[in-house]
Amino acid sequence: MKVIDHKIERLLWQVQKPARYTGNEWNAWRKDHAGIKVKMVLAFPDLYEVGMSNQGLKILYESVNRRPEMLMERAFAPAADMEELMRAHNLPLFALESGKPLAEFDLVGFSLQYELSFTNVLNMLDLAGISLHASERGESEPLVVGGGPCAFNPEPLAPFFDFFLLGESEECLPELLADLDAFKQTAPDRKELLAKLSEKEGVYVPALYRPVYKEKKLKALERVDPGAPGVIKKRLVKDLDSAPYPAAPVIPYLQTIHDRAVVELFRGCGRGCRFCQAGYIFRPVRRRSREEIVKTAREQIALTGYEELSLASLSSTDYPRLDELIDELDRALAGEQVKCNLPSLRLDSYSIKLADRLHRGKRSNLTFAPEAATERLRRVIKKNISEEEIFTALGDAVDAGWQGFKLYFMIGLPTESDEDVAAIAELCHRLKQYFRRKAGRRISISVSVSTFVPKAHTPFQWEPQLPLPEVTRRQEILQQGFKKMPGVDLSWHDAETSFLEAVFARGDRRLAAVLEWAFKLGCRFDSWTEHFSMSRWRQAFREADIEPEDYAQRRFEYDDLLPWSHLDCGVDKEVFIKEHRKAFNLDADFEGEVR
Amino acid sequence: MTRIKFRFARHAPLKHISHLDMMRLFQRALRRSGLPLVYSEGYNPHLRFNLALPLPVNVTASEEFGEVYLSETVSPDQFVSTLRAQLPESLDLKSASSEDYKAPSLPSQVVAALYRATPGREENCRAGSSQFRAALDRLMAREEILVQKTKKKKKQAYVNVRPYIIEAYFKESGNESPLELYMLLQAGSSGGVSPFFVIEQLEKELNCDCNNKAFWELHRESLYTDKDQFLQPLSEGM
């Protein structure tokens, strides 16, 4: 067993939740570094308890470590108290398994899950003593790679990364590590090595491309190296059943956000909601077989002792014959005292029936995401559920004894009017009355409202985000509507963080300078309200001479070169255009789609 | 139904986790072990399992206790070997015994705990052992040591924890650290005081001008129950 380095140990008694930094959890891999050919650290740019809730991290950890000749360790962003001590004591960022500094590994891979973690990426590189800019990294420094959803538009991060891995990497990452080991023998230097890597499908080496801007617009993406691929295709797992998946995931000592066994039912989503990036970048839908799901569930429960099992996917109740699967799981886990749950429930009676059958214990709250409160707007975003369906489904849930609902909405969606915003409160009001008549008891409703962020690789990728003052005005309409509604709990996302998210979600390489400034000005954990500072960000934009509004509120034309147009998520531009036109009823063919 | 009481030590690598983390750790280890566990009835069935006394974060321990109910007879030896296979090395399961089914619950038996605090070696307070001893004498001579506690309705109230310090004394350890502080503190349902609070008070009494905050290594030596008005180690009879 690793004995935590004395230096680290000396800091731990002074920090909150020291177990964030100690590793050694049950089911964690402990590999002797001697004799291992390729060593990688998976760095998650957020706190331990957030990163350890990420299923992708657990899958990759399994996929690499099951191969004896390579290893993957983990590192997370230290909280502010720990960072301060590490800097004061000159202690570099270390990997949890071995306590070794990140700089001693061959590869440092960042999981890029959300834009607001980008400053943490820079901070972690800095804490690790790794050169921030890929172009300045020496031969002995690790390669820095990024993957995950934000790798589908990684341009704002381009100068800080040696390469990105596009798409699902549980199958290709171990292959790539093996290649890397082979290339290291033959490639004379880092540059050559990266050129070789760029020949692999899914590998995007940003230094091989040079963007050309004209009048604030991206005009061209020139290939620095003529051998570089013109388009980088994402990697895709063909068969989930044979792809690596952890039977014995690491069990954190600390309580994490999702502290449970997770079996993925299927990857991708066939719904095609027009705002949803996951719905497009994870296409096509690939299912895990029923036998494999039951087998994995049984193994995970036996090897973890978890008391809860989540059947995860983007829209769980779309799994065919889910009721039969649930019966089988019931039999397989009989007597184990395991609670099962189905996240991402659709708002229909079938889903509610299934959620209810799975459920054990007190029927507290069910969560749904209608996203928009009027049928018209729901058709625009292709979240096709009728008001009648909502009432029937929630009515069924109340009959089954559920105590309350959490409902997710978005404001600022394309075509949204003040009426659509006010409709959120009106819908909740009607639901309240309906529940009162139906149940005769108090049904709690809590409403969470986020702001629409246009994302790359979605039909709304060309759409602007609403200007900040307008978002604020619509939030006021929202609050006004809920003012006289006791018992309904309203919360909404901070407009400024959504603004920042929009800037980077469709950003280009010019934003890298902003990120670097923001990091130097002390921006960290920007998705955490207690750390977020818009004034620091404003200063970063000023220093880099960039107007953030130009990015967030930009409307792209179909002919514009998008900063991510060389990255192929597997969905043709024509599909996005067709979906975009359908949303706004721009073609006569689609009449009736929108009222 | 059987009731098993078990004894374990917690070594340094695991000292950073909280009581709730420990509870989850044991519950999951028990669930993995395949032992015939017993759950409570009702809507949210929970494992019939207890730890004698929460162990604070950053404290190691040599004699901790837990208890668990089993639906079938399992010998203490078999219990130890089965559960041990599911525990991390730093959680050292030492022995187990069958307990009277009707005896009061383990947590309700605990009345006191003995702690040993060793000041760390580096960047430490420069005060010498005589200064430490004098500070402790001053602390123990006080009739009142008040600690602010938030009571119901968020009212702030002061509790005098001086009576909860049953004993506190320094021992010359002889090896690397010159001094070891032993504290026998009241614990359990009738009230208690945190060893960290006592140390904090001692540092205040010490009032050393070096401004180096000492780095104390804290260890819980043993837990005690009340036996005819005398303290008896919880390990008695195991």
Q: What is the DSSP string of A43-86?
A: EESS-HHHHTT-HHHHHHHHHHHTSTTEEEEEEEPPPHHHHHHH
Condensed to tens digits (0 to 9), the pLDDT of residues A17-36 reads 999 999 999 999 999 999 99
Q: Is A178 on the interface with B (CB under 8 A)?
A: no
Cβ–Cβ of B16/A337 closer than 8 Å?
A: no
ipTM value for the complex: 0.91
Which of B20, B31, B87, B122 is the mutation pick for testing A, counting most A CBs within 10 A? B31
B172/chain A closest Cα distance in angstroms: 24
Angle, alpha carbons B226-B228-B233 (nearest 5°)? 35
Q: Is the pLDDT of residue A595 over 60?
A: no
- How far are the Cα atoms of A142, A529, A538, B88 from residue A157, in angstroms, in the given order? 17, 23, 19, 40
pLDDT band at A586 (very low <50, low <70, confident <90, very high): low
For residue B21, give every residue at least 6 positions away whose Cβ sits within 8 Å of its Cβ, in sequence order, or none.
A19, A253, A254, A255
A505, two tokens:
């979600």
Cβ–Cβ of B27/A305 closer than 8 Å?
A: yes
- The whole-number pLDDT of residue A81 equals 97
Q: Does domain B2-103 have CATH number 3.30.70.580?
A: yes
Per CB-CB distance under 8 Å, the chain A contacts of B28 are 26, 251, 304-307
Of A129, A53, A128, whose CA–CA distance to A95 is shortest?
A128
Task: Among A222-226, A352-356, A379-383, name the one with the lowest average pLDDT.
Answer: A352-356
Q: Is A535 on the interface with B (CB under 8 A)?
A: no
Q: Give the 3-state secondary structure of residue A402.
A: coil
Cβ–Cβ of B25/A1 closer than 8 Å?
A: no
- How far are the Cα atoms of B139, B158, B162, B206, B238 from residue B148, in angstroms, in the given order? 18, 5, 13, 21, 39
Q: Which amino acid is at A482?
A: F
B225/chain A closest Cα distance in angstroms: 29
B29/chain A closest Cα distance in angstroms: 6
Nearest CA in chain A to B41: A361
Q: Are B157 and B21 in contact (CB under 8 A)?
A: no
A98, two tokens:
């071995």
With 0-12 / 13-18 / 19 or more C-beta atoms within 10 angstroms meaning exposed / middle / buried, residue A284 is exposed
Q: What percent of chain A has pLDDT over 70?
A: 97
Q: Are B112 and B223 in contact (CB under 8 A)?
A: yes
- The whole-number pLDDT of residue A154 equals 98
Q: Which amino acid is at B91?
A: L
Question: Of A10, A19, A362, which has the smallest distance from its Cβ to B43's Cβ?
Answer: A362
Of A109, A147, A122, whose CA–CA distance to A515 is shortest?
A122
Condensed to tens digits (0 to 9), the pLDDT of residues A129-159 reads 999 999 999 999 999 999 999 999 999 999 9
Q: Is the pLDDT of residue A4 over 60?
A: no
Q: Are A502 and A465 in contact (CB under 8 A)?
A: yes
Cβ–Cβ of A361/B16 closer than 8 Å?
A: no
Cβ–Cβ of A362/B16 closer than 8 Å?
A: no
Average pLDDT over chain A, rounded to an integer: 94
- The whole-number pLDDT of residue B212 equals 59
- The whole-number pLDDT of residue A352 equals 86
Question: Of A9, A12, A306, which has the smallest distance from its Cβ to B28's Cβ?
Answer: A306
The larger pLDDT score, comparing residue A126 to residue A184, is at A126
Per CB-CB distance under 8 Å, the chain A contacts of B24 are 253, 255
Residue A444, strand partner residues: A404
- The whole-number pLDDT of residue A587 equals 63
Condensed to tens digits (0 to 9), the pLDDT of residues A470-517 reads 999 999 999 999 998 888 999 999 999 999 999 999 999 999 999 999
A109, two tokens:
């891979």
Cβ–Cβ of A305/B28 closer than 8 Å?
A: yes
Per CB-CB distance under 8 Å, the chain B contacts of A334 are none
Nearest CA in chain B to A306: B28
Cβ–Cβ of A305/B86 closer than 8 Å?
A: yes
CATH code of domain B110-233: 3.30.70
Which of A5, A8, A13 is the mutation pick for testing B, counting most B CBs within 10 A? A13
Q: DSSP character for A465?
A: P
- The whole-number pLDDT of residue B174 equals 65
- The whole-number pLDDT of residue A185 equals 85
Question: Of A18, A337, A361, which has the smallest distance from its Cβ to B16's Cβ?
Answer: A18
Of A279, A286, A176, whose CA–CA distance to A241 is shortest?
A286
- The whole-number pLDDT of residue A481 equals 94
Q: Kindly list the domain boundaries of chain B, sorted by start residue.
A: 2-103, 110-233
Condensed to tens digits (0 to 9), the pLDDT of residues A313-332 reads 999 889 999 999 999 999 99
- The whole-number pLDDT of residue A21 equals 96
Q: Is the pLDDT of residue A1 over 70?
A: no
Condensed to tens digits (0 to 9), the pLDDT of residues A517-544 reads 999 999 999 999 999 999 999 999 999 9
Of B185, B220, B183, B218, whose CA–CA distance to B112 is shortest?
B185
pLDDT band at A589 (very low <50, low <70, confident <90, very high): very low
Listed as ranges, residues in chain B with pLDDT below 50 are none
Cβ–Cβ of A362/B44 closer than 8 Å?
A: yes
Q: Is A304 on the interface with B (CB under 8 A)?
A: yes
Condensed to tens digits (0 to 9), the pLDDT of residues A236-257 reads 999 999 999 999 999 999 999 9
- The whole-number pLDDT of residue A8 equals 83
| Length of chain A counted residue by residue | 595
How big is the A-B interface in CB pairs under 8 Å? 68
Q: Is the pLDDT of residue A6 over 80?
A: no
Per CB-CB distance under 8 Å, the chain B contacts of A303 are 32
* φ, ψ for residue B154, nearest 5 deg: 55, 25
Which helix (DSSP H) or strand (DSSP E) does residue A340 occupy?
strand A339-341
Q: Is A88 on the interface with B (CB under 8 A)?
A: no
Cβ–Cβ of B58/A255 closer than 8 Å?
A: no
B15/chain A closest Cα distance in angstroms: 9
Q: Is A253 on the interface with B (CB under 8 A)?
A: yes
- The whole-number pLDDT of residue B91 equals 97
Cβ–Cβ of B20/A303 closer than 8 Å?
A: no
Question: Of B29, B43, B89, which has the smallest distance from its Cβ to A305's Cβ?
Answer: B29
Nearest CA in chain A to B87: A26
Condensed to tens digits (0 to 9), the pLDDT of residues B36-69 reads 999 998 878 899 999 999 999 999 999 999 999 9
Q: Are A449 and A489 in contact (CB under 8 A)?
A: no
Q: Is A247 on the interface with B (CB under 8 A)?
A: no
- The whole-number pLDDT of residue A514 equals 98
Q: Give the 3-state secondary structure of residue B4.
A: strand
B187/chain A closest Cα distance in angstroms: 23
Cβ–Cβ of B43/A361 closer than 8 Å?
A: yes
- The whole-number pLDDT of residue B175 equals 61
**Pick among 3.40.50.2300, 3.40.50.300, 1.10.4080.10, 3.40.50.280: CATH of A6-231:** 3.40.50.280
Which helix (DSSP H) or strand (DSSP E) does residue A32 occupy?
none
B32/chain A closest Cα distance in angstroms: 5
d(CA A125, CA A132): 6
Residue A163, strand partner residues: A145
Q: What percent of chain A has pLDDT over 90?
A: 86
Tokens 């290291």 — which residue?
A: A184
Of A545, A525, A554, A522, whose CA–CA distance to A535 is shortest?
A522
Q: Is the pLDDT of residue A3 over 90?
A: no
